[in-house]
């Protein structure tokens, strides 16, 4: 049963990965769901099913597309999803004989690291020459800005050239890409875990998500990433991507903080609806505030989850 599930999940994931070559908006949406089958297989049938799915999807990509496409699928989509699922089901016995599951805050840091590596890997797939990479990114930004100016979505001062502005903004693009990868991975992980939980196959009890706190050492990592982002070349790309990824992680921690602090309050529902609507409408303004809330929460490290029922750990190896 496990090999069949793994092979099926790998083929579906590879198909979702491959449709991006069509370039349509729907294709990009399907591409973002490529890790989902791997997550479901690894969470519901243990991590070995995830490895089988990785191998099956990579082989299918090599046969149907090219060796490089199959390798990219394995490195950018499948192996990261397998590793995150492996960590999510990692457990050890605590002092009372119950199961102590891998903390969500630590899992988020791993997701940030994987998002940064994926960002750099995607850039290197495009080209191994940094000047060429920056030129391509600047051209994409220039086309986008030109279209926005032409459609009158934005107005630029007369002395500002679109090409120069695009070249200035290019180094910041990895920050957004790293953050978007974190959001995509977290969304796929949550959907997969919820689906597996509904099916009754999730080995660990559903975690108390509002208690999620990012470990303090992630702040040191954020400082190092910001310093590295000032360097040139792909090292700077890696630093910028890690900066964006960690800020996205702290944003999720900030959302968890709001969920936790509003528990039991009569105005909880309207408050949460307002926050999510504001995040959708004013993302550029609210995201930094939520990240700041997550950073403060990490410094305080004060929130704890209610005691879960004692569940013996599942074998993970």
Question: pLDDT tens digits for 76-87?
Answer: 999 999 999 999
- 4 pLDDT more than 60: yes
**pLDDT confidence bin for 241, thresholds 50/70/90:** very high
Per-residue pLDDT, averaged over 206-226, amounts to 93
Same domain, 264 and 181: yes
Query: What domain range includes position 15?
Result: 1-89
Is 95 a domain residue? no
Same-domain pairing of 32 and 155: no
Instruction: Return the closest-CA partner of residue 168 out of 160, 177, 158, 176.
Output: 160
Cα–Cα distances (Å) from 234 to 31, 34, 126, 226, 245, in that order, read: 25, 26, 12, 14, 16
pLDDT tens per residue across span 89-112: 998 877 676 778 999 999 999 999
pLDDT at 302 over 90: no
* pLDDT of 170 above 60: yes
Judge whether residue 307 has pLDDT over 60: no
Per-residue pLDDT at 237: 94
Give the residue among 137, 59, 117 at the shortest CA–CA distance from 241.
117
Last residue of a domain, one of 58, 89, 120: 89
Tell me the average pLDDT across 132-150.
86
Number of domains within the chain: 2
Torsion of CA 88, 94, 99, 103, to 10 degrees: -20
pLDDT of residue 264: 85
Q: Which residue has the tokens 């994931």?
A: 13
Query: First vs last Cα of the chain: how many Å apart?
Result: 18
Last residue of a domain, one of 56, 89, 122: 89
pLDDT category at 189 given cuts 50, 70, 90 is very high
Q: For residues 254-275, b (16+ Cβ closer than 10 Å) or e, as one string?
A: bbbbbbbebeeeeeeeeeeeeb
* Pick from 52, 113, 97: nearest CA to 242: 113
Mean pLDDT, range 147-159, rounded to an integer: 77
Residues 124 and 236 in one domain: yes
125 and 249, same domain (yes or no): yes
| Residue 156 sits in the same domain as residue 224 | yes
35 part of a folded domain: yes
Q: What is the predicted pLDDT for the residue at 127?
A: 85
Query: Looking up tokens 């408050």, which residue turns up?
Result: 271
Residues 39 and 131 placed together within one structural domain of the fold: no
CB 193 within 8 A of CB 35: no
pLDDT band at 310 (very low <50, low <70, confident <90, very high): very low
Cβ pair 105, 303 in contact under 8 A: no
- Per-residue pLDDT, 306: 55
**How confident is residue 27, by pLDDT bands cut at 50, 70 and 90?**
confident
| Predicted pLDDT at 303 | 58
Angle between helices 283-300 and 217-228 (to 10 degrees): 130
Tell whether 238 and 129 lie within a shared domain. Answer: yes
Query: 111 and 249 in one domain?
Result: yes
Q: Is residue 316 part of a domain?
A: no
Give the model's confidence band at 311: pLDDT under 50 very low, under 70 low, under 90 confident, else very high.
Answer: very low
In a domain, 310, yes or no: no
Tell me whether residue 262 is in a domain.
yes
Same-domain check for residues 84 and 130: no
CA–CA dist 91, 47 (Å, integer):
13
User: Helix axis angle, 104-126 relative to 79-88, nearest 10°?
Assistant: 170
The answer to the question of residue 313 being in a domain is no
| 311 domain-assigned | no
The answer to whether residue 216 is domain-embedded is: yes
pLDDT in tens, 249-293: 999 999 999 999 888 888 888 989 998 898 888 877 889 999 999
pLDDT at 317: 39
**8 Å CB contact between 273 and 290:** no
Return phi, psi of residue 83, to 5°: -65, -40
Instruction: Please give the model's pTM, rounded to 2 decimal places.
Output: 0.88
CB 121 within 8 A of CB 79: no
Both 159 and 113 in one domain: the answer is: yes
Last residue of a domain, one of 89, 110, 139: 89
Q: What is the pLDDT of residue 316?
A: 46
Asked if 58 and 177 sit in the same domain, the reply is no
Helix, coil or strand: residue 49: helix
Residues 259 and 144 in one domain: yes
Q: Among 43, 124, 25, which Cα is nearest to 316's?
A: 43
């Amino acid at each position: 049963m496990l090999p069949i599930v793994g092979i099926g999940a790998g083929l579906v994931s590879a198909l979702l990965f491959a449709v991006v070559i069509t370039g349509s908006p729907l294709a990009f949406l399907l591409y973002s769901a490529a890790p989902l089958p791997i997550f479901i297989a690894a969470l519901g049938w243990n991590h070995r099913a995830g490895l089988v799915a990785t191998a099956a999807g990579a082989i299918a990509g090599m046969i149907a597309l090219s060796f490089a496409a199959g390798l990219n699928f394995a490195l950018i989509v499948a192996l990261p999803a397998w590793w995150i699922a492996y960590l999510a089901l990692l457990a050890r016995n605590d002092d009372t004989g119950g199961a102590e599951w891998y903390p969500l805050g630590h899992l988020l840091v791993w997701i940030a690291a994987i998002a940064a590596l994926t960002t750099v890997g995607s850039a290197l797939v495009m080209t191994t020459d940094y000047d060429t990479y920056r030129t391509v990114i600047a051209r994409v930004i220039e086309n986008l800005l030109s279209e926005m100016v032409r459609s009158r979505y934005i107005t630029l001062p007369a002395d500002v050239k679109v090409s120069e502005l695009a070249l200035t903004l290019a180094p910041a693009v990895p920050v957004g890409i790293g953050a978007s990868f974190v959001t995509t991975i977290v969304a796929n992980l949550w959907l997969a875990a919820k689906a597996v939980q509904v099916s009754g196959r999730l080995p660990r009890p559903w975690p108390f998500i509002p208690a999620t706190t990012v470990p303090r050492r992630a702040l040191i990592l954020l400082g190092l990433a910001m310093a590295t982002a000032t360097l040139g070349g792909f090292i700077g790309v890696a630093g910028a991507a890690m900066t964006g990824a960690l800020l996205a992680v702290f944003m999720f921690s900030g959302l968890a903080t709001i969920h936790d602090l509003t528990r039991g309050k009569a105005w909880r529902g309207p408050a949460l609806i307002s926050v999510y609507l504001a995040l959708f409408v004013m993302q550029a303004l609210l995201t930094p505030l939520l990240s700041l809330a997550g950073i403060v929460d990490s410094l305080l490290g004060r929130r704890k989850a209610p005691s879960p029922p004692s569940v013996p750990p599942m074998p993970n190896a």
